[in-house]
Amino acid sequence: MHRIASLAAALVIAFPAVAAAQTAPPQLPAPKALAVSAFSVEHSITVPGAPADVFGAITGDLLPWWDHFFTPGGPAKLYLEPKVGGCFCEEFDADGHGARHAVVTFVDPGKRLIFEGPLGFAGTAVQMVTTYEFAARGDSTVVTVKAQASGAMEPGSENAVNGVWHHFLVERFKPYWERTRGRRG
């Protein structure tokens, strides 16, 4: 054992560059600091029908009213499974390529649905928790969406998310529901 230690010491003395290369840390690029922020947005609509029926339309197949996708031209499937652990998923094709936008963490059908995931921030250090709440008001349902996000976001992200949720709820889902609810099976 003493002989091996002596040999190693001799190598360090004879070849100092080799020894330095083995002990010096590599030159690494400097880390990039990211600003972290958080925000919350909330939107509500009132639509005709019972909360259970509206809940059924806002989950399941989203392709009839959701229009933001990773897939150019639209995905093969886009769905939100209303069960704990359920997927908010976009399937690009029949081969299983796609994206999981979020995972369902809470379900009380016709009352509340919560899912967590980055949604449009996929691939970044952003987490979003989205809550749908459904409340009966006479023969109608009030749908409230609250989205809370935190992480490394570009300035103005809160305005973009606020506009997107307005678009989905007010401009897409409400007209879709009002146009099709009498024809749903």
Q: Could you read off the pLDDT of 81-127 as tens digits, one per residue?
A: 999 999 999 999 999 899 999 999 999 999 999 999 999 888 899 99
pLDDT tens-place values along the chain, 185 residues long: 555 455 445 444 555 555 555 667 789 999 888 889 999 999 999 999 999 999 999 999 999 999 999 988 899 999 999 999 999 999 999 998 999 999 999 999 999 999 999 998 888 999 999 999 999 999 999 999 999 999 999 889 999 999 999 999 999 999 999 999 855 44
Segment holding 24, helix H or strand E: none
Which residue ranges form the domains of the chain, and what is each CATH number? 36-183 (3.30.530.20)
- Could you give the dihedral angle defined by the CA atoms of residues 170, 173, 178 and 183, in that order, rounded to the nearest 10 degrees? 180
Report whether 124 contacts 152 (CB < 8 A): yes
Phi, psi of 14 (to 5 degrees): -75, -30
